[in-house]
Amino acid sequence: MTFDYDLFVIGGGSGGVRAARIAASEGGAKVALAEEFRMGGTCVIRGCVPKKLMVFASGFSQMMEDGKSYGWDIRQNGFDWPKFKTHLETELDRLEAAYRRNAQNAGVTIYDSRAVLKDAHTVVLADGQTVSAKHILIATGGYPFVPDLPGRDLAMTSNEIFLQEELPKSILIVGGGYIACEFACILNGLGVEVTQFYRGAQILNGFDEEVRGHIGESMIDSGVSLSLGCDVMEMEQQDQGIWVKATSGKDRHYDAVLYATGRMPNTTGLGLEDLGVKLGRRGEILVDEWSQTSVPSIYAVGDVTDRINLTPVAIREGHAFADTVFGGKKVKADHTCVPGAVFTQPEYGYVGMTEEEARKDHSIEVYATAFKPMKTAFAGRSDRVLFKLIVDAETRKVLGCHIVAEGAAELIQLAAIAVKMGATKENFDRTVAVHPTIAEELVTMRTPVRTA
Ligand code: NDP
């Protein structure tokens, strides 16, 4: 049987583009890719990249304030959102073009169209054209989930936040995960009056408990009005803004409401169920360790599989798929000990286990220190950083490393190499400190604060 292509990829985000490029350039495959929105996917167009640029933009307010303590004569004239937004759009256009060019240079044919499955080897494009391929890769990512409640349509999600013509004066952010906490800090830094509702007892559910408390307190100290154990009952558009009634019984008006209550896999309407592709409870595509679905010619990578929903993981999955199916070498994406960061202010970088996870199966020693770093203490701020190592008391291996500090995302990338290699606490201790830095605490913590 002959096919139009060796590989057809649905979705031009991080995972899909990596798979397409490697299959074409290193595997010699004839590859096509369909993208219905913009090349680059969530990460580049409405996720990590614009978010990180907003983190940078937001950080200047505190930096300028601190600068005064260092002798600088600084007059702040406010933040010009339209100016930043125009610059941001130019940058995103550049990145989108680069994604397109890199795929095309590798020999990938791009269809700017939605594609859905017709059978195990055929897709249908929006104009009705059918295209066949020996293998099909689904890399359609996810979409923001907003719960059903009265006034739901008044809320925006992280998809729309970058598109606002002007910054709201006040905003309610609902949720306590990555996106809610990151945007609470970003918008607070940009001068927006931020209220955050989280239904549970502490933000960042699932992360290390001590870190959660530390970041929650830091966010409150920096001006975020954080209401824990609180959710929205209903919303209504009124003259003064969006009226919100909370489960606490309180109500007030906000200029905008941002829902960051999780993301769902993008599988609706792709024709997967009709073909017998098995889906999980949240609609995620179920795959094996080779990213192969229950239909052998169809594979899936990235957020649509709801494994670890991070860009670098999707890239690894896409690359491993291309190596395995087209590169003649069987490669599995490694989902263990994946480091990550939450871009709150201060940032949080993590790798390995939380203290709570480690306690379940290991006897552990916990080394932790929280202190005011030199840079911000000099500026008269009370911010504290947190360094924490969780060590297996028997093997001495560092099971987890958690850092809350300026630049924690950069620091954890390096610490993650050691943790992934299986470094022991003594390996850390043998490493000479770099002084004066905040990260030297990683190699100078001598006494456990607790054992369990
Ligand atoms: P998360 O899953 O991180 O958080 C969702 C939050 O919404 C949780 O606090 C959850 O509460 C709450 N929630 C869920 N359902 C409801 C509901 N019905 N009513 C009220 N609250 C609700 O999702 P995000 O949207 O923040 O982010 C999605 C994913 O994107 C992340 O999981 C991550 O994989 C990725 N991401 C990664 C980033 C990074 O690497 N820095 C940055 C941004 C996103 P509860 O905990 O009680 O369930």
Q: Note the pLDDT of residue 285.
A: 98
The yes-or-no verdict on residue 29 having pLDDT over 90 is: yes
Of the pLDDT bands very low, low, confident and very high (cuts 50, 70, 90), residue 292 is very high
- The tens digit of pLDDT for each residue in 140-153 reads 999 999 999 999 99
| Architecture of the domain whose range is 340-451 | 2-Layer Sandwich (3.30)
Residue ranges, comma separated, of all CATH 3.50.50.60 domains in the chain are 5-142+264-326, 152-261
Residue 343 Cβ contacting ligand 1 at under 6 Å? yes
- The tens digit of pLDDT for each residue in 120-168 reads 999 999 999 999 999 999 999 999 999 999 999 999 999 999 999 999 9
**329 CA to centre of ligand 1 in angstroms:** 36
Of the pLDDT bands very low, low, confident and very high (cuts 50, 70, 90), residue 1 is confident
Q: Note the pLDDT of residue 237.
A: 98
- The tens digit of pLDDT for each residue in 221-233 reads 999 999 999 999 9
The yes-or-no verdict on residue 116 having pLDDT over 90 is: yes
Length of the chain: 452
Peptide bond into 339 cis (omega under 30): no
Please name which of 109, 100, 106, 102 lies closest in space to residue 4, comparing C-alpha atoms.
109
Structure tokens that stand for 208 in this block:
């290390």
Residue 112 Cβ contacting ligand 1 at under 6 Å? no
pTM (two decimals): 0.97
Q: Which amino acid, 432?
A: V
Strand partners, 238: 241
Q: Note the pLDDT of residue 291.
A: 98
Mean pLDDT, residues 209-236: 98
Asked if 347 contacts 341 with a C-beta cutoff of 8 angstroms, the reply is yes
Mean pLDDT, residues 202-210: 98
What is the C-alpha to C-alpha distance for residues 310 and 302, in angstroms, rounded to an integer?
8
- The tens digit of pLDDT for each residue in 41-56 reads 999 999 999 999 999 9
Residue 200 Cβ contacting ligand 1 at under 6 Å? yes
Helix (H, G, I), strand (E, B) or coil at 76: coil
What is the C-alpha to C-alpha distance for residues 388 and 412, in angstroms, rounded to an integer?
11
- Check 135, 253, 335, 435 and give the catalytic one: 435
Residue partners of 380: CB distance under 8 A and separation at least 6: 69
What is the C-alpha to C-alpha distance for residues 248 and 184, in angstroms, rounded to an integer?
20
**158 CA to centre of ligand 1 in angstroms:** 11
User: Domain 152-261 is classified in which CATH homologous superfamily?
Assistant: FAD/NAD(P)-binding domain (3.50.50.60)
Q: Note the pLDDT of residue 89.
A: 97
- The tens digit of pLDDT for each residue in 325-365 reads 999 999 999 999 999 999 999 999 999 999 999 999 999 99
Question: Is the dihedral angle over the CA atoms 311, 313, 319, 324 positive or is it negative?
Answer: negative
Mean pLDDT, residues 197-211: 98
Of the pLDDT bands very low, low, confident and very high (cuts 50, 70, 90), residue 103 is very high
**Residue 70 burial (CB count, 10 A):** 10
Structure tokens that stand for 263 in this block:
């993301």
Q: Which residue has the CA at smallest separation from atom 14 of ligand 1?
A: 261
Asked if 428 contacts 446 with a C-beta cutoff of 8 angstroms, the reply is no
Q: Which residue has the CA at smallest separation from atom 22 of ligand 1?
A: 261
Q: Note the pLDDT of residue 437.
A: 98
435 is catalytic: yes
Helix (H, G, I), strand (E, B) or coil at 156: strand
What is the C-alpha to C-alpha distance for residues 333 and 189, in angstroms, rounded to an integer?
37
Of the pLDDT bands very low, low, confident and very high (cuts 50, 70, 90), residue 76 is confident
Q: Which residue has the CA at smallest separation from atom 15 of ligand 1?
A: 261
What is the C-alpha to C-alpha distance for residues 339 and 69, in angstroms, rounded to an integer?
35
Residue 205 Cβ contacting ligand 1 at under 6 Å? yes
Query: pLDDT averaged over the chain?
Result: 97
What is the C-alpha to C-alpha distance for residues 213 and 194, in angstroms, rounded to an integer?
19
**399 CA to centre of ligand 1 in angstroms:** 25
Of the pLDDT bands very low, low, confident and very high (cuts 50, 70, 90), residue 109 is very high
Residue 175 Cβ contacting ligand 1 at under 6 Å? yes
Residue ranges, comma separated, of all CATH 3.30.390.30 domains in the chain are 340-451
What is the C-alpha to C-alpha distance for residues 403 and 447, in angstroms, rounded to an integer?
18
What is the C-alpha to C-alpha distance for residues 374 and 392, in angstroms, rounded to an integer?
31
What's the CATH class of domain 5-142+264-326? alpha beta
Asked if 179 contacts 47 with a C-beta cutoff of 8 angstroms, the reply is no
| Percent of the chain predicted with pLDDT > 70 | 100
Mean pLDDT, residues 293-312: 98
Q: Note the pLDDT of residue 39.
A: 97
The yes-or-no verdict on residue 203 having pLDDT over 90 is: yes
